[in-house]
Amino acid sequence: MIQVAPGTKVYLACRPVSMRYGFDGLAAQVAQVLAADPYSGHLFLFRSKRRII
């Protein structure tokens, strides 16, 4: 179980993203696509293009 502080927003990316971006690339995606600060303390969840069932 992950505990999240009250007031923390959780963003879930519905479009698959290549995990080859790494942390810096995913942070850039947050900044460009969502126009949000990736260091704001909110959670940004991404779905991989490569589906693992």
Residue at 12: amino acid letter: L
Write down the pLDDT at residue 52: 64
DSSP codes of every residue in 1-53: -----TT--EEE--S-B-GGGHHHHHHHHHHHHS---TTSS-EEE--BSS---
Predicted pLDDT at 1: 82
Scanning the structure block, which residue is given the tokens 């179980």? 1
The pLDDT value recorded for residue 18 is: 87
Predicted confidence (pLDDT) per residue in 3-50, tens digit: 889 999 999 988 888 889 899 999 998 999 889 999 999 999 998 887
Predicted confidence at residue 7, as pLDDT, reads 93
50 HSE (CA, 13 A, CB side): 3
pTM for this structure? 0.75
